[in-house]
Structure 1
């Protein structure tokens, strides 16, 4: 597949698949097309060429409502209204399933409550979204995606603006959700070393081979060693970390 804007290709020769129960990351340097790819998979913009399939069906065959029951997305754009309470924002996750009045059923409420418990949001429910820290709001947005109850969850830079502890917390949470709820979770990230430790699969978007595999196999194949200019940054396969050349 090739992705881009206005027929201008940003990234091409992309080919990979993700299964239910897997956490996968898209990594690469700035401007290589990570966000463009995640937005294309989420049907926020058209692909340039190639195909995207969900359960063997072309992405284009799904209408808006069908997409909302198949794929949930957390993008980097600010939410429409931070004046909503956390409880109100979470309830919007059930919108694809409610009737035209938007009335929540007992099943809807149960799904919301389960996600609130999983992401430990009980103490935030009555707070306005603008009152939350970046880390708290990110957990709320992930909960909303989980409440949408789709097989696929896409996230663009879910750890942006977070400190190391909260970066690790969010990624460990995503891994737990993928494994425990059997969802396919795909996210973009600059946190390559954390992704190596926590992800089941990784796509290295480098504009050339765009390899996709388990982190250990990517290390064995020296796929990380050409990600950055070798005269400045080297990759240590023994520790799975990058070293600055002084």
Structure 2
């Protein structure tokens, strides 16, 4: 086990997470998930030895992290926080190149092979056209990718990312997550990243760490999702008390969309109706006859004209 958390109490003065027990091996991708304020970032900072444990131990390659020097920590762990300080007058290439300077005094020039590797990372992250662009002129998404590029250039066996896809569109999220998984498998990296976007992230992670009510649950992604159904259930928010919903038989996303449409537009009892989704159309029954509609707009018009 390359990263091992052993009976750790994690927090500042009081426990956010109690008796945490978890471990990850090289070559694994792990998704860290939990509601805001439960301790995800605190856990990451504890692994980096930026916050001392209240109890227990965290080790990297069987060595207690409290014994690491700053340089040893950087050689073992590369990190990207969701809010990073933007170096003034740095370009994308400058920032990604910074990942190499943990191996040299800062005044040294990078070797040819280092520069080639930096160029490869820039190309892989689809940042080639922004190579010489100042960081302050980048979009949030491209800036985030540049910081991830710096972590990749560091070549540490462990890469930890705090909300790495927060500002990215779907295409760039997939680019980042595919890159992280490829690195884990091809270069034997241990990747730990936090995210709220579990539906997308779960497709790329082997393990999941889930923080809930002061406990850290860890295991194979699918096991954790099955054991904690609140992670996969669509939330049907009740904002209209006069609305009485119909029966809806549909996949979770379609069910959520229909529920949202009906409850924000109607303050009446629709419980006599049954909406059933069939691939490309909705079948509505409960009146004198059944009706078939393909769009939500058609459904909206139908309910508006229903007496």
2:268: which partner in 1?
none
Uncovered stretches (5+) of structure 1, i.e. residues with no partner:
234-238
* Corresponding position: 1:182 with 2:188: yes
Please, what TM-score do these two structures have when normalized by structure 2? 0.70
Aligned to 2:179: 173
Residues paired across the two proteins, number: 239
Cα displacement string for residues 140-184 of structure 1 (whole angstroms, at most 9, x for unaligned residues): 111110111100001111111333333333222222222222110
After superposition, the Cα gap between the structure-2 partners of 1:134 and 1:140, relative to the gap in structure 1 and judged at 3 Å, is same
The structure with more radius of gyration: 2
- Equivalence for 2:223: 217
Query: 2:70 — aligned with what?
Result: 64
Change (3 A) 1:3 1:227: farther
1:154-165 to 2 correspondences below 5 Å: 154-165=160-171
Shift of the 194–54 alpha-carbon distance from structure 1 to 2, 3 Å rule, reads same
Confirm or deny that 1:4 pairs with 2:32.
no
More moved, 101-110 vs 90-99: 101-110
TM-score, with structure 1 as normaliser: 0.86
What is the root-mean-square deviation of aligned Cα atoms in Å?
Answer: 2.7
Higher RCO, Cα 8 Å, sep 6+: 1
Q: Quick one: distance in 2 between partners of 1:208 and 1:231?
A: 26
Q: CA deviation at 1:200?
A: 0.7
**Which has the larger strand fraction?**
2
Residue by residue over 1:25-64, the C-alpha shift from the partner in whole angstroms, topping out at 9 and shown as x without a partner, is 1101111111111111122222222111110000011101
Q: In 1, Cα distance between the equivalents of 2:218 and 2:112? A: 41
Q: Is the aligned partner of 1:85 residue 2:91?
A: yes
